[in-house]
Amino acid sequence: MTLFRNKTFGGNTPDMEIWQNRDVLDEATGKRGTSKRAEYFASILDEYAKSLNDTDYDYKGSAYNSKEDLVGRLQQASQSLRDGTFDNNDYNALTALGISGDDARLLFSTGNLKEKTEP
């Protein structure tokens, strides 16, 4: 979430209403799409994966076995987000990166922030 906060809000506290408004709310159904948010988030993951090529980090003791493992997880999440549906595959891919289910629901909710909705 830190990477998202830094890229999207300059490191400041995220304004999730602005984030959600990237996708239009259908007034008739009360639901909003996720495609624009998913595409943007996927681009953040891609950019981060590419930046790892220039780093030398010791992954011992981390949640990732190696740079290749982390890059693979980033690529899997990016591909999953771009498939046009936000589903369990996306949750699983984001969870593999350490993004909680609650954060994923907040990022990709299909309703209004004021309402509790399932993505």
The distance of Cα 114 from the centroid of its chain, to the nearest Å, equals: 21
Per-residue pLDDT tens digits for 52-104 = 886 778 888 888 888 899 999 999 999 999 998 889 999 999 999 999 888 88
| Intra-chain end-to-end CA distance of the chain, in Å | 18
State pTM to two decimals.
Answer: 0.82
Return the higher-pLDDT residue of 53 and 39.
Answer: 39
Measured between alpha carbons, how far is 94 from 80 in angstroms, rounded to an integer? 9
- In this predicted structure, what is the pLDDT of residue 118? 47
Q: What pLDDT is attached to residue 117?
A: 43
Q: Helix 35-51 crosses helix 2-9 at what angle (to 10 degrees)?
A: 110
Compute the C-alpha angle 16/62/15, nearest 5°: 5
Distance CA 30, CA 111 (A): 6
